[in-house]
Amino acid sequence: MRDALQRLIDDVLNPLLEKDASSIELLKAEDHEVVVRVTGRAAFGVGAEYVRTGVIEPALRKVVGNDCAIRIKKAVPKAKRRL
């Protein structure tokens, strides 16, 4: 399952999200739980909730099915340091 999820993320989701200054990373893939982290606009942008619930989660569900819990963590962007 982990390999199939990683291929989905690498081949489909990341190229799609990169067009919106975002990315997704697979953190954990176990029998009953999948955890991913999103960054950029997919985490905190105006349409972030739609991207997570309307694009990312349905794509992951096609691989893991409905019995698996999916958690989508949002990465907090790091501020640039002032000199």
Q: Is residue 18 part of a domain?
A: yes
Q: Is residue 81 part of a domain?
A: no
The CATH number assigned to the domain holding 37 equals: 3.30.300.130
Q: Is residue 82 part of a domain?
A: no
pLDDT tens string 7-25: 999 999 999 999 988 999 9
CB atoms under 10 Å from CB of 53, counted, come to 11
Beta bridge partner(s), residue 70 = 34
Q: Number of folded domains in the chain?
A: 1
DSSP notation for 35-70: EEEEEEHHHHSTTHHHIIIIIIHHHHHHHH-TTSEE
Q: Say what the pTM is.
A: 0.85
Task: Spell out a b/e string for 55-81, using b for 16 or more CB atoms within 10 Å of the CB, else e.
Answer: bbeebbeebbeeebebebeebeeeeee
pLDDT of residue 78: 67
pLDDT tens string 23-80: 999 999 998 999 999 999 999 888 899 999 999 999 999 999 999 999 999 987 666 6
Range of the domain at 61: 2-74
